[in-house]
Structure 1
Amino acid sequence: MDGHPEAMKRQPRGDNSAWDEVLAHRPTDVRDDVRARLVESGLTPERVREVLADGGDVLYATAKSGEEDWANRFGGPLAVALLAAEVSAFAAHLNSRASAVRALAVDSLLDDFSAVTVAARLGVSRQKVYDISRGNLSASFIDRVPWSSHE
């Protein structure tokens, strides 16, 4: 596909641990399909890791450059679309993780304060406080973002 005919013959096997690590933001039940699409388009775990590590900054800057063949740097338009999808999925994962942490904090606040007080402090409606507090940390979230310096 898109300049990578040999990629059509590859199997998404190889070093699955590298793929599992770079796709840790994806639910386990979809990782094989995602990995297969990435491999079929000629992408490697290293390339995906690189794009996720800068939050898609280079991908965006290259797309915005206006150069005619800007997508070739990443393996063509299909590879770019898949890389952009991973940036989006990663951002959605981080958003869900932050929402789960917020839910835990709000639930804790409700032990000591009224929903009206919590709502006023958060700048949301009383009903929204109850909605927020329903989240939980039981989902499988990544422990650290790739650019974190914390161990």
Structure 2
Amino acid sequence: MSSQPGGDSDWDVVLAHRPPDTRDPVRERFASAGVTPVQVRAALIDGGDELFRAVTEKKDDDWAEPFGGPLAVALIAAEVGALAAHLTSRASAVRAVAVEALLDEFSAVAVASRLGVSRQKVYDIARPGATGSFIDRTPWSI
């Protein structure tokens, strides 16, 4: 993460999976709930494991307090979901390029058989998609 004053660059790094024009409202929601980029990054790195453990092992009504309370937990959990959705879209874009390359060499029936999908699904998968608007690396590999 960057150590620039103001923290905006920290939020840009943590929210890199979101389009730049959508980051400000997300950042504002976090700030209004007292959530820091460090907290969000920790949840993204562990895939929400600590949040899940806290909610499933809750021993009292204060289970959410270590994270900043229920609002903070809801916002952080939503961000874990946003990252998961981004990674799913990124994987789909990569798969589309690979399937398109396979179709240059093999029939749709052969590709479908190898992938375990229908012939029609092969054509759906291979629809061209942009691959440039995704994060280069996952938060846990930075």
TM surpasses 0.5: yes
Structure 1 unmatched ranges of 5 or more? 1-12
* TM-score (norm: length of structure 2): 0.92
Structure 2 unmatched ranges of 5 or more? none
Partner of 2:88: 95
CA–CA distance in 2 between the matches of 1:14 and 1:97? Answer: 30
Partner of 2:114: 121
CA–CA distance in 2 between the matches of 1:125 and 1:92? Answer: 24
1:65 shift after superposition: 1.0
State which drifts further: 132-141 or 35-44.
132-141
Pick the aligned partner of 2:7 from 15, 39, 52: 15
1:36 shift after superposition: 0.4
1:146 shift after superposition: 1.9
Sequence identity, in percent? 64
Amino acid at match of 1:64: T
1:143 shift after superposition: 0.7
Q: Deviations over 1:36-95 (max 9, x none)?
A: 000100001111101111011011101111222101110010000000000000000110
Q: CA RMSD in A?
A: 1.4
Pick the aligned partner of 1:69 from 62, 67, 77: 62
Question: Is 1:104 paired with 2:93?
Answer: no
State which drifts further: 135-144 or 59-68.
135-144
Kept in 1, the 8 Å contact 2:94–2:131? The answer is: no
Count the aligned residue pairs: 137
Pick the aligned partner of 2:27 from 35, 51, 76: 35
1:139 shift after superposition: 4.3
Partner of 2:44: 52
CA–CA distance in 1 between the matches of 2:123 and 2:117? Answer: 10
Kept in 2, the 8 Å contact 1:55–1:87? The answer is: yes
Kept in 2, the 8 Å contact 1:99–1:135? The answer is: no
Kept in 2, the 8 Å contact 1:103–1:133? The answer is: yes
CA–CA distance in 1 between the matches of 2:16 and 2:6? Answer: 17
State which drifts further: 139-148 or 69-78.
139-148
CA–CA distance in 1 between the matches of 2:108 and 2:15? Answer: 38
* TM-score (norm: length of structure 1): 0.86
CA–CA distance in 2 between the matches of 1:100 and 1:135? Answer: 8
Runs of 4+ in 1 over 4 A off after TM superposition: none
